Structure formats: C-alpha cells, structure tokens
Structure 1
C-alpha cells in the first residue's frame, strides 16, 4: 500500500501507525500551509496533562503560501522552551536518557523553514526507532489521488478520528489517565526499543 501524508512536527502515533504499515510513504511537499494543524505543532504528556508545543512561523500576507516556503520565526526562543518542556515531561521516563543525545541537537540549532525542520525531526526519530521506511516526495499537488491511500487529513489537529490504540504506560498516567495519540516522543521515551513493535501491532480502526 502506498500512502500520502504530510510531514509534521514530531508526528503523532496515528501518523506512525500509518507509515509503518505502508509499502511506500509519499510525503506531500506541494500543499499550502494551513493554521491549526500538526505542521507546526505536537502534543506531549506534561505534569498537568496534554501539552501543546507550537513552532512559531512567519505568515505571508498572501492568501496562500506553500508549506515548503513557510519560515520559522526564530526570534522567539521556542526551541529552548520546547526542550525544557520535554525535559520536564520525560526526564523520569524509562528511556529518555537513551535517546536524549540524538534528539537534543534538534533544539540547539535554528532551522529556517518549517518543512525542512520537520523532515529532519522525522529522520532522527526513524533512526531512534531503527525504522527503515521507503520514502518519496510529491512534485505536484493532486487533490484526488489514484492508486494511493490519502492520509493527508491526519494533519488536521482539530478533527481527529478516534482510533482504538492499545494503552501503554505513561509517566503521569496515574494522575490523568491514558492520553492517546500523542507525539511519537511520548511512545519512544516510555517504550524505548519496544516502540516499533507497538506501532506495528496497531491499526487505523476507529472505535
């Protein structure tokens, strides 16, 4: 099965379940940037529950702007804030120290474009998971896809399907219960080398 989806900021569990079960992952490179999506946000499990991490971007005055042309607003100290939030959320998790050295550089050097940064994050996460995916990229935008499964709707942070994923142990689950479909970081820090097995065992079936 060939699938098409958007590169997002530390993709959530749904994105990764779709990717690990695909024969080929085609990354959408030619779409327009939209607000309120996972293109520049991800969610982790903080001490007070679900916590959003948003990358500030520079919005064009044009009505439409290509995702690949959107620049990050690096005047905000967002990388330091995101890393501190991740430290606070996961430093006591079983596998944080195991992956810390691979992930921390992503928060130390400024990236110019949001799409480039997301692709770099995806590359590092795949290395952490020891996951080899058959990636390709679109060179034109197709509204209707042929011979491919369209998962581009998964980028919408406001309209998420309620997938029935198995629970795994989370750092603050005793306080707030299990929170599904967080960033892949949550699964990685809590499950470590078992994260890939977990992803491979899940399906995109709604409740």
Structure 2
C-alpha cells in the first residue's frame, strides 16, 4: 500500500506539472510565434490548465486524507502503548493473604473511537483494520464496564476475602478477559506494525499465567 501511495502521488504530481508546462509552452509559442493569430491554441491552453487544476485539487485531497490517516495511526499507536502498560502492570493479582477491594485503572479507547467515527479508514484496503478496531473497542468497553460493576459490588457491600479472591482469579485465569484483551492487543499491534509500519510501538510485556 505504501508503494502504491508513492506511485499515486508521483503520478498526480507529474500529471499536474506536465499539463501546466505544456499549457505554458503553448501560450509562449502562441504569443511569440503565432502572435495570437491562431485561435485554436486558446482552448488547448485553457483545457490543459483545467486538467492541471482538477488533478491538483484531487492530489491535495488525497494528501489531506493521508495526513489525517497518519495522525489517526499515531494516535492509535500512542493509545496502544499506554494500554499495553496498563495491561502489564495495572492489574497485578491481589495479595492472597490480605485481599482488599481496589479501584482498577481503565483502558483507553478515545483514539480508537475517533479513528472509527472519523472515517479515515473508510477507503478500500483498510477493512481488516476497521474490523479489528471494532473488536478491540467492544472488548475494552465491555472490560471497563465490568470493572465498574466489580468496584460497585466490592465497595458498596462487605465482600468476604474469599469472594474478592474469586473475582480476581476469574480475571487473571488463562483464557479469561485479561488474557483475551492481551491477545487482541497483540493482533492490533501486529497489524499496525506489519501493514502500516507505524513507529513508536514496542512489544507488549508477556502477561503472567500463560497469556500472550
């Protein structure tokens, strides 16, 4: 996709410059050699100028779309790095000998929401990323909502230590929600690294208890 994008930019830039140069050459020849007597060249110069204007506008719109897409990718990468840190260190298991109710950090999803709502990936070729971002957003939203319910349960009423440990073990068990979030995060990172070449990403810390 990067090669096609570069070739596309080069094509539209070359087409615009070529049309402008040809129109300028015709104008110079018409004014100096033909001395404006042959009216056939006026439509030619006007047509070439219009073609140059159209290709220039189209190229500018494509450049603006690429810029918005690049900004969205960098925001996604930054958000992914922060979520990687939270998943690695923000959900340490409870102390089995002194379990206590606690407030959990929330995973971020604002950049994901903005990327999906803005439509910067609506062009053909980004379907896999859009589908994966939808899955990631839904998973993060569901996880954060479950944290709200867990905190409400553990802080509003007196929860015995055994129940606190059971809630914590369910969160950290292999194949549980944290494990699934880490795997999904890894899929997003792999796609951003491999297909989009997004800088600033670093491999996530392997989760405990057999996660990826």
TM category (shorter chain) comes to: under 0.3
TM-score by length of 2: 0.24
Greater strand share, structure number: 1
Structure possessing the higher relative contact order (Cα contacts under 8 Å, 6 or more residues apart): 1
TM-score by length of 1: 0.24
Greater helix share, structure number: 2
Highest Rg: 1 or 2?
2
